Structure 1
């Protein structure tokens, strides 16, 4: 699957998305578009090819596929709509060759959506009654329409939209490098007013927020409760990610090293701490339904991932802490930093990697979700202190360095305002050091709360045990102390 996603990502870097000032946004939308289309078409072909092997389970498979296809339709339509808005900014562009093919593709999408609705409401019942020929006929029609829509999409990728972002003046150095003009000088107001859309992470964050709220709603509908504090932590985590990738850190992160450090530390430390406190895996396991038809659904796949050997190894505190520290050093003291500034692909991978490594580290210490056995609380506190001690050492070494990281990049941008690159790097290192403190406080506070609750549970367990045994354990312990006292007294007399 990872190989397939990598192939689709490389396709999204060309075609529609090539040559526009909003290249990064176009790439993200194109990638989502291709993933949804591939899942939609691939799922349909898989059903057709395996219909005989599925036997009586075909109706079940079609029912599950229909849900997937419905989500794919939403993603394909929305990503295509916003992608078209980027390339065809004026309504007159609809009458161009590009616009005509866009209308053709949209019409095919509507037809396929209608067929999917019929499949969802009528065909599943026919299959349950043995109507396999109806499924084959509908699948052939749907595949033909999808093939036409795909052909129109291929033609679109090779057609220049006449009304799309016509360039009347040469690009500046900043427009060539980052796909847009340099933002204004960073002041107090710009922290709130400057935004740069990062479509991929924005949609991921909104999707995860929506899933979480739906799960909480499902729990409440059946009479169960879920702590509001955990819901709030989950929302804060994803809202912080949206701000870090789309707000001022996203707008200035490729222009100022200091703002890059704000983005990095927010993504790697603050966001994971809040997400872990949301306990998403526990919530998912409590709300996702077990499948009783022999197939593996989201709940079953989630359990497989959580219990897999890689997850067990990477989720141990020592490994997670080591990954967190080593990633930090390797990223900044190699060419990876400049690569993440130059390449949208590398930037996406950077955000994903540090978000995941930070999550593994935080979950191994303050999480309640299923995973590897966590060490005793004193050892967890020690791991937190040692890890952030290494982080402070890294920040101090960066502050003392006279070598500008990614110097070629920051000089080539032609920025005429603000600190020079070396001074900005020193300021960014200080920010990174400071921003490491408040996630530390969050994790330390959460660890103390978990520690206190664990002690209370152990005390209640002991009290219940004493009640059942009429205090036999306490009496035996007191008798042991009495004998030790008598032995000490006899030795002192002798």
Structure 2
């Protein structure tokens, strides 16, 4: 336990120094809650960060790197997850309680008034409700981590663990920043991936006594591949978050900016340690596995690098907790003074007038989809390179279409369409149509599942890597149901009506989580429908080609009917949103334009799908003809001769009956 203790001590020491330097624990001029609250709140938040890290990191290792067949290492990892979730539960409850004392200025008493005030704070005030949800979610993870051992159950436990942190992400500096959605996305990515990075390393340190040199090298290599991804995401999201909260380069000289610089230096140092992992430590452990006499030197190298890395992680964790209590240079008062109706509703200023060229010059990148597309392109190309190095072929058009589809996704989620979709219904509908029809038409022919199955190395120790989890996902009963062509078509069309004529539409506009859910849903529903028509990846059932064309025509007709319904509507779908942006234009006319986009924009993808189905049909007939010709050549036209003999026999029988 030396490693985790060192991490906690360094983090606590750096936190205290950061609070003293940045004034995060200084007495307040009005309603000062006292030193216990001022110092206890950041310490409790440090506990939240460390608990979340251990929880996510241990679950990630159990899901991706460890095998249930090796019960000691697998069970210990889940015990670490449970203990860390318990720390998160206690720390989150403490943060909620101390925030109550800070906000209300009350002192702790044991009467009914104090209890009722605390209850109101935790259930009706957004800040208190957020920390109550974190506490309850962490408590659930604590119990379940002790109870579950099945890999699939642990995977869903990981989903619950990530969801537990969502209310926490929506608090702090990001919640009040001018670029609200961008700040929330950057902070969320930063917290989750930093937690996985830190917690995975701590878990390996705890597990190393249960692992021999060869097994330790394997687990570390798998963790290292995850750590590379975490480093990239943490670096990019950290830069984006700092840019939003610092505001300008000249503000780096402020207390907040100097702490940010210290955190950046710690992050760079951690990146260098990651390079040492891959270039020295893992190879050293491989040599130790081959020669047990070198075990002492191998473990010495292990502990030297690990202890130093944990120390720098402690520095980064302490500085992160200190930043949470240090005033940002971007003043909330300045933001409030320039608030417009558009800022009140969307969290961002009204963009420039939407001239046609603005859709190609204005950008508001969504960091989540930018990173998803970047990693999607990188891993796809890496898979293709691996196939070609071993002599396998992969059509170039698949790579081109996949890359084009992800680049289009980046533009739709971060380009001019994204800039205007919150303030113009027509832009929103254009984004919707592109996500459901244009992007999937490019992505599906890329056959990512087939590529993953062929390029990713198969695990043989009972653990599940990327290949195993992808194949599990596409073979689940749920996937088999939603991949059915009829179900996919019904979801594709039915979700249009359910989305726009229920409260779901409002939720996706007012909540950034809802906005991200909308993108995911549109992409998946469109992908499944296109996959059922022209997909290359294996599916449980495909319609014959004539019925595919029929299904396409019926679905597109229903899609066009939806567009006409929007065009003919006499009232706004979200009158208090799109009608209150201050454009000075007729929002109903813009909505009717959006209906026209929904009615007409599907023509090009529909034509592309119809042509592709026709080409596949023709090629299938050609393949069947060639197969029959080859069979006839092998059998010497035996089938044809047998058929002719059968016809002759029938003719002879008919002649006898006539006589």
Structures share fold, TM-score greater than 0.5: yes
Does the aligned pair in 2 maintain the 1:69–1:116 contact within 8 Å?
yes
Q: Which residue of 1 is the match for residue 539 of structure 2?
A: 371
Q: Which residue of 1 is the match for residue 383 of structure 2?
A: 215
Residue 302 in 1 paired to residue 470 in 2?
yes
Which residues in structure 2 correspond to 1:30-45 (within 5 Å)?
30-45=187-202
Q: Which residue of 2 is the match for residue 155 of structure 1?
A: 322
Which residues in structure 2 correspond to 1:404-483 (within 5 Å)?
404-417=572-585, 420-483=586-649
Q: Which residue of 2 is the match for residue 190 of structure 1?
A: 358
Q: Which residue of 1 is the match for residue 371 of structure 2?
A: 203
Does the aligned pair in 2 maintain the 1:40–1:72 contact within 8 Å?
yes
Rate the CA distance shift 1:161–1:18 in 2: closer, same or farther, 3 A: same
Rate the CA distance shift 1:440–1:38 in 2: closer, same or farther, 3 A: same
TM normalised by structure 2 equals 0.70
Does the aligned pair in 1 maintain the 2:173–2:328 contact within 8 Å?
no
Secondary structure of 2:536's counterpart equals: coil
- The CA deviation at 1:483 is 4.0
Which residues in structure 2 correspond to 1:137-152 (within 5 Å)?
138-152=305-319
Q: Which residue of 2 is the match for residue 70 of structure 1?
A: 228
- The CA deviation at 1:334 is 0.7
Q: Which residue of 2 is the match for residue 24 of structure 1?
A: 181
- The CA deviation at 1:290 is 2.5
Q: Distance in 2 between matches of 1:54 and 1:296?
A: 18
Match of 1:174 among 342, 356, 359: 342
Deviations 1:283-313 (A, max 9, x none): 2222222345554322222222222222222
Residue 265 in 1 paired to residue 423 in 2?
no
After the TM superposition, which of the residue ranges 119-128 and 395-404 deviates more from structure 2?
A: 119-128
Match of 1:95 among 240, 250, 253: 253
Q: Distance in 1 between matches of 2:520 and 2:449?
A: 19
Does the aligned pair in 2 maintain the 1:86–1:164 contact within 8 Å?
no
Q: Distance in 2 between matches of 1:490 and 1:399?
A: 72
- The CA deviation at 1:96 is 1.6
Q: Which residue of 1 is the match for residue 522 of structure 2?
A: 354
Rate the CA distance shift 1:323–1:158 in 2: closer, same or farther, 3 A: farther
After the TM superposition, which of the residue ranges 152-161 and 465-474 deviates more from structure 2?
A: 152-161
Rate the CA distance shift 1:231–1:120 in 2: closer, same or farther, 3 A: closer
After the TM superposition, which of the residue ranges 26-35 and 478-487 deviates more from structure 2?
A: 478-487
Rate the CA distance shift 1:24–1:168 in 2: closer, same or farther, 3 A: closer
Rate the CA distance shift 1:472–1:163 in 2: closer, same or farther, 3 A: same
Match of 2:414 among 246, 262, 266: 246
After the TM superposition, which of the residue ranges 101-110 and 36-45 deviates more from structure 2?
A: 101-110
Deviations 1:373-426 (A, max 9, x none): 212112222221222222122222222222310111112222213xx1222222
Rate the CA distance shift 1:65–1:24 in 2: closer, same or farther, 3 A: same
Does the aligned pair in 2 maintain the 1:219–1:287 contact within 8 Å?
yes
Q: Distance in 2 between matches of 1:71 and 1:488?
A: 77
TM normalised by structure 1 equals 0.92
- The CA deviation at 1:455 is 1.2
Q: Distance in 1 between matches of 2:656 and 2:605?
A: 56
Q: Distance in 1 between matches of 2:553 and 2:560?
A: 10
After the TM superposition, which of the residue ranges 86-95 and 254-263 deviates more from structure 2?
A: 86-95
Rate the CA distance shift 1:188–1:75 in 2: closer, same or farther, 3 A: closer
Does the aligned pair in 2 maintain the 1:313–1:319 contact within 8 Å?
yes
Q: Distance in 2 between matches of 1:393 and 1:173?
A: 34
Q: Distance in 2 between matches of 1:222 and 1:473?
A: 41
- The CA deviation at 1:335 is 1.5
- The CA deviation at 1:359 is 0.6
Rate the CA distance shift 1:74–1:246 in 2: closer, same or farther, 3 A: closer
Secondary structure of 1:50's counterpart equals: helix
After the TM superposition, which of the residue ranges 105-114 and 310-319 deviates more from structure 2?
A: 105-114
Q: Distance in 2 between matches of 1:187 and 1:489?
A: 82
After the TM superposition, which of the residue ranges 180-189 and 464-473 deviates more from structure 2?
A: 180-189
Deviations 1:217-250 (A, max 9, x none): 3333444432232222212322222222222221
- The CA deviation at 1:72 is 1.5
Q: Distance in 1 between matches of 2:593 and 2:249?
A: 47
- The CA deviation at 1:487 is 5.4
Q: Which residue of 1 is the match for residue 140 of structure 2?
A: none
Does the aligned pair in 2 maintain the 1:16–1:156 contact within 8 Å?
no
- The CA deviation at 1:125 is 4.0
Deviations 1:96-140 (A, max 9, x none): 221222122223223333333333333324434234465456444
Deviations 1:245-304 (A, max 9, x none): 222221111111111111101101111111101112222222222345554322222222
Does the aligned pair in 2 maintain the 1:16–1:30 contact within 8 Å?
no
Does the aligned pair in 2 maintain the 1:191–1:248 contact within 8 Å?
yes
Rate the CA distance shift 1:469–1:178 in 2: closer, same or farther, 3 A: same
Gaps of 5+ in 2: 1-157, 289-294
Gaps of 5+ in 1: none
Does the aligned pair in 2 maintain the 1:93–1:163 contact within 8 Å?
no
After the TM superposition, which of the residue ranges 398-407 and 283-292 deviates more from structure 2?
A: 283-292
- The CA deviation at 1:366 is 0.9
Q: Distance in 2 between matches of 1:177 and 1:272?
A: 31
Deviations 1:134-177 (A, max 9, x none): 54564444334323311211221232222578548331111222
Does the aligned pair in 1 maintain the 2:233–2:371 contact within 8 Å?
no
**RMSD (Å), alpha carbons:** 2.4
Rate the CA distance shift 1:439–1:13 in 2: closer, same or farther, 3 A: same
